[in-house]
């Protein structure tokens, strides 16, 4: 059995349907490969962000507070925010005892 492709050679361009489908499939595979590479990079970035988030969480969770400092026998150092709040309370007369 012979196949005649003369009618697919119009204007010097090859328009064989199955060949065009193969070209489309190749382009789709290349696009999928690029998307896979991009997804893998995004996955690595998300993994890094998750590790950083858990590290920050652990740092905050196990940060020494005033209670842990007292239990350990060390003097707690007030933060600037705590000092500012103390000053605000004292200047407004909120620290009065009945």
Query: Considering the domain boundaries, does residue 97 fall inside one?
Result: no
Which structural domain, as residue segments, surrounds residue 50? 15-88
Residue for token digits 């707690």? 76
Phi/psi-derived region of residue 53, left when phi > 0, alpha when psi is between -120 and 50, beta in every other case: alpha
Query: Considering the domain boundaries, does residue 45 fall inside one?
Result: yes
**Could you read off the pLDDT of 28-82 as tens digits, one per residue?**
999 999 999 999 999 999 999 999 999 999 999 888 665 655 556 665 566 777 7
Better-predicted residue by pLDDT, 21 or 9:
21
Query: Considering the domain boundaries, does residue 1 fall inside one?
Result: no
Number of domains in the chain: 1
Query: Considering the domain boundaries, does residue 70 fall inside one?
Result: yes
Residue 74: phi and psi, rounded to 5, are: -110, 160
Query: Considering the domain boundaries, does residue 25 fall inside one?
Result: yes
Better-predicted residue by pLDDT, 14 or 51:
51
Query: Considering the domain boundaries, does residue 7 fall inside one?
Result: no
Buried b (16+ CB within 10 A) or exposed e, 86-98: eeeeeeeeeeeee
Query: Considering the domain boundaries, does residue 94 fall inside one?
Result: no
Query: Considering the domain boundaries, does residue 4 fall inside one?
Result: no
């Amino acid at each position: 059995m012979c196949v005649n492709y003369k009618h697919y050679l119009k204007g010097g361009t090859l328009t064989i349907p199955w060949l065009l489908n193969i070209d489309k499939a190749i382009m789709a595979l290349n696009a999928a490969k690029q998307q896979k590479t991009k997804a893998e990079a995004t996955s690595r970035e998300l993994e890094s962000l998750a590790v950083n988030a858990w590290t920050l969480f652990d740092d905050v969770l196990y940060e020494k507070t005033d209670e842990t400092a007292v239990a350990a026998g060390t003097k707690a150092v007030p933060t600037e925010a705590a000092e500012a709040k103390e000053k605000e309370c004292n200047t407004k007369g909120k620290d009065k005892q009945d």
